[in-house]
Amino acid sequence: MIRTPLLFCLLLFASFGLSQEDKLNIIVFGAHPDDCDIDAGGTAILFSQMGHNVKFVSLTNGDAGHHIKGGDELAKIRLAEAQEAGKRFGVTYTVLDNHDGELMPTLENRLKVIREIRKWQADIVIAPRPNDYHPDHRYTGVLIQDAAYMVIVPNIAKDVPPLKANPVFMYSADHFQKPNPFEPDIVINIDKVFDQKIYAMAAHESQFFEWLPWTSGALDKVPKTTDARLKMLANWRKDAPNEAALKTLEKWYGQKGAEVQHVEGFEICEYGKQPSEEELKRLFPMLNP
């Protein structure tokens, strides 16, 4: 059953009293408001519950993603939805003012990404791979790759101090096979927060209950009640582990991995810090239940 919003709020602010030095800083990039939610929402909730700092950044304002609304009107709606989703996830949510459908891997946008990573003092950076059906998704991956080394270079974006150490850059999961399939290095069990992830994602009403159903010809099938909509969204985002994820689950969770129903997987990017298994356990403490 979907949990009540009150319980979500209680879970969101649960913390183990970590010192500032022990807190991890995680930043997740997506092309549009709602992309971070889909790719890493459950993992973000787990980090937040443990007292760590998580930020979602959308590189566009989403002003083209609707069949009726658009422009400034839609951008304002999507910003408000993202801010509400951030409250439900327990994360900071930033939406950059680039036009939806027009994102390019320019120097200007690379510097924006570098500044976001530096300001957050990121230990972990999560973003999509640069191969996807949507150009905004692809170029988000390219921009984060292009920033991966530059975040430690003092003479780049000199208005924000460089990081002292390169973060671990990780790709979020996708199903694309060419030029090479996604290969998860870690897979996170999000069973206990899956309902909360769905509730938080549902804040993006214009997307999950209007735009995306319209693109698939199913707008007339969207339920009217909140509970029914949450069930519809949960059915769409089952996040069930595939064969590759099951193998990785076994590595990190042992035999219990076979019982996991909802997951989020991540692949280490070659361009950032290359962590050992012990380092991954420190960076993803939910792997040590």
CB 57 within 8 A of CB 29: yes
Instruction: Please state, in angstroms and rounded to a whole number, the distance separating the CA atoms of residues 245 and 173.
Output: 10
Is residue 196 in some structural domain?
yes
CA atoms within 13 A on the CB side of 136: 20
Is residue 1 in some structural domain?
no
**Could you give the number of structural domains in the chain?**
1
What pLDDT is recorded for position 43? 98
Is residue 85 in some structural domain?
yes
Tokens of 131: 């191969």
Instruction: Please state, in angstroms and rounded to a whole number, the distance separating the CA atoms of residues 236 and 96.
Output: 27
- Please give the C-alpha separations between residue 38 and each of 119, 183, 208, in angstroms, as whole numbers: 24, 18, 11
Q: What is the pTM of this model?
A: 0.93
Instruction: Please state, in angstroms and rounded to a whole number, the distance separating the CA atoms of residues 190 and 180.
Output: 26
All residue ranges of the chain with pLDDT < 70 are 1-17, 289
Instruction: Please state, in angstroms and rounded to a whole number, the distance separating the CA atoms of residues 68 and 54.
Output: 33
Burial string for 35-49 (b: 16+ CB within 10 Å, else e) reads: bbbbbbbbbbbbbbb
Domain membership of residue 145 as a residue range:
23-287
CB 52 within 8 A of CB 24: yes
Is residue 255 in some structural domain?
yes
Is residue 40 in some structural domain?
yes
Is residue 7 in some structural domain?
no
Instruction: Please state, in angstroms and rounded to a whole number, the distance separating the CA atoms of residues 32 and 169.
Output: 19
- Any idea which residue has 């671990």 for tokens? 168
What pLDDT is recorded for position 12? 45
Instruction: Please state, in angstroms and rounded to a whole number, the distance separating the CA atoms of residues 160 and 26.
Output: 18
CB 222 within 8 A of CB 164: no
Instruction: Please state, in angstroms and rounded to a whole number, the distance separating the CA atoms of residues 57 and 31.
Output: 8
What pLDDT is recorded for position 289? 62
What pLDDT is recorded for position 20? 80
Is residue 183 in some structural domain?
yes
The DSSP bridge pattern shows strands 186-189 and 263-268 to be antiparallel
CATH number of residue 277's parent domain = 3.40.50.10320
Is residue 11 in some structural domain?
no
